[in-house]
Amino acid sequence: MSAAASDPAISVAGLVKHYGPTKAVDGLSFDVARGEVFGLLGPNGAGKTTTVETLEGYRDPDAGTVRVLGLDPVRNAPALRPRIGVMLQEGGLYPGLKPLELLRLFAAYYDDAESPESLLDTVGLRDAANTSVRRLSGGQKQRLSLAAALIGRPEVVFLDEPTAGMDPHARATTWQLVRDLRDRGVTVLLTTHAMDEAEQLCDRVAIVTGGKLAALGSPAELTRHAVSDEIWFAAAPGLDVLAIGRALGLGGDGVVEDRVVEDRPGEYVIRAPGTPERIADLACFLRDENVTLAALQAGRRSLEEVFLQITAEEAR
């Protein structure tokens, strides 16, 4: 029954799942290799949570097959449950227990659990050890939920929007935990809305829209061919966008307006390809105006832009 090490940790083949007349997942297929950190991206309602919950054994597929560690999550549940860790999108914690009590309870379910005390330290909840769960902040609850997913030393971890509601510090802690999991060879399947999270953490991502696979690959692969014909930079807010346009020679056809815009305060978009000459002209302008450049992107689109483009195309 147990799968070979070269077999995928997770395999989804032709998964279909309906809720009444709605097709939540519509023929989705992908594999996740052992030790891989895999991101499932998509707009709300794309079928991400349904897919994850099918892998966790909560839902039976209407069609297609899913396997986790070579096992059927529903029919082989008793064999699979000790080997997976689950973080639900929300809830799952007894409001009346304290974090340490909760982790000790979850540790009792597994044969070789981590130490509840040290895991509480790892997720930064030592100070909240004696606060009941109902009085924890949203981010603290998320971290406790993450700790509960990891307490049984799982081989495969499912994290459904793990950093939603976390402050930047907790987010960084969580990212580090995911990297540590990868270093230990643990397979991680996570869903997220944060493209920077996917870019930072995931070996590969699948972009899902309308229950179907829209793109699959590493973040670098997905962005490699997405050539941008825009320059984006960040600097002090309130720069003279018309002057920038003239400095970059964008006034030649007489329409400088709208070629350079301040998209958000201090963030500028130049609607022209980022040729070496234009970048040099921009640098000269900033030198002459004594403006410090905070960030610059040209040539390649970010994963976020690729995501928005793909999901917008699918929506049409």
Partner 1 sequence: MKTGALAAQTRAETILQLRRGENLVVTLAIPLGILVFFAKIDSVTTAGFAHPVDFLVPGVLSLAVMASAMVSLGIATGFERRYGVLKRLGSTPLSRGGLLISKTATVLGLEILQILLVVVVGVAIGWDVPAGIVPAVGLLLLGTIAFAGIGMLMAGTLRAEANLAAANGLFLVLLFLGGMAYPLDKLPTALQDFAKALPAAALSETVRSVLSAHAFPTGELAVLIAWAVGAPLLAARYFRWEE
Q: Which residues are at the interface with partner 1 (CB under 8 A)? A: 56-58, 78, 81-82, 84, 86, 88, 90-97, 101, 104-106, 108-111, 148, 152
Shortest spacing between CB 86 and partner 1, in angstroms: 4
CA dist 103 and 124 (Å) reads 14
CB of 166 to partner 1, least distance (A): 18
User: What's the closest the beta carbon of residue 95 comes to partner 1, in angstroms?
Assistant: 6
Question: Among 211, 213, 124, 217, which Cα is nearest to 167's?
Answer: 124
Q: Which is nearer to partner 1, 84 or 177 (CB)?
A: 84
> Which residue(s) pair with 38 in the sheet?
189, 204
Give the DSSP letter of residue 73.
T
Write down the least CB distance from residue 89 to partner 1, Å: 9
Q: 201: closest CA among 40, 82, 33?
A: 40
Query: How remote is the C-alpha of 193 from its chain's centroid?
Result: 6
Tell me the closest approach of the beta carbon of residue 156 to partner 1, in angstroms: 11
The CA-based angle 263-268-272, given to 5 degrees, is 110
Query: Which residue's CB is nearer to partner 1, number 79 or number 213?
Result: 79
User: What angle in degrees, to the nearest 10, is found between the helix axes of 138-150 and 168-183?
Assistant: 10
Q: 91 or 265: whose CB is closer to partner 1? A: 91
Q: Which is nearer to partner 1, 56 or 197 (CB)?
A: 56
Distance CA 55, CA 39 (A): 14
Taking a C-beta distance cutoff of 8 angstroms, is the pair 173, 124 a contact? Answer: yes
* Residue 150 beta carbon to partner 1: minimum distance, rounded to whole angstroms: 13
What is the token pair recorded at 47?
């079928």
- CA–CA separation, 117 and 104 (whole Å): 9
Nearer to partner 1, 134 or 184 (CB): 134
Nearer to partner 1, 134 or 169 (CB): 134
